[in-house]
Amino acid sequence: MGRMHSGKKGKSGSKKPVKPTNPTWIAHPAKEVEILVTKLAKDKKTASEIGIMLRDSYGIPSVKTACGKRVTQILKEKELKPEIPEDLLAVIHRSIQLRKHVEKNKQDMPAFRGLQLSESKIKRLVKYYVREGVLPVNWKYDSESLKLYGS
């Protein structure tokens, strides 16, 4: 499947195993993995940062195969889940940086196009998250008020 805003296909990259099983060499039981996830979440780490730290520091290749739950599910159970999803927050941050750049450099049309693409992606993500019940129904995208989240 092709990428949305480019002509490239983008199919290369590592793939997860077809039948995920918990490796026998993992030293941490499921409860301990959940405790590690909550500890890292209390240290203000995002879900992806938690997964990377567990993989690199603790040797846990996949939280889902170790516990049977994803990192975000564990955070939701422990009431540590952020109010705005991580992917939406990253696109908002990118949009804020692009908006600052375009205000300084008014002739930079490729950056302006990137800003348009980022904002349209934000609107699509908001529509999806409102439909799924992650964001409240009255949550609206406003570039001025969202500067608080991107800082």
Q: Mean pLDDT for the chain?
A: 88
**Structural domain contains residue 35:** yes
Residue span of the structural domain in which 69 resides: 30-77
Number of domains in the chain: 2
The pLDDT score that the predictor gives to residue 101 is 95
DSSP alpha helix (H) spans, 78-138: 86-104, 109-132
Of the pLDDT bands very low, low, confident and very high (cuts 50, 70, 90), residue 150 is low
Specify whether 90 is located in the same domain as 73: no
The secondary structure element, H or E, covering residue 147 is helix 147-150
Which residue, chain included where needed, has tokens 């730290």?
Answer: 53
Q: What is the pLDDT of residues 24-71, one digit of tens each?
A: 888 889 999 999 999 999 999 999 999 999 999 999 998 999 998 999
> Which CATH number do you get for residue 128?
1.10.287.10
**Structural domain contains residue 61:** yes
CA dihedral 103, 104, 110, 112 (to 10 degrees): 0
Specify whether 70 is located in the same domain as 105: no
Higher pLDDT residue, 17 or 122? Answer: 122
The secondary structure element, H or E, covering residue 32 is helix 30-42
Percentage of the chain exceeding pLDDT 70: 94
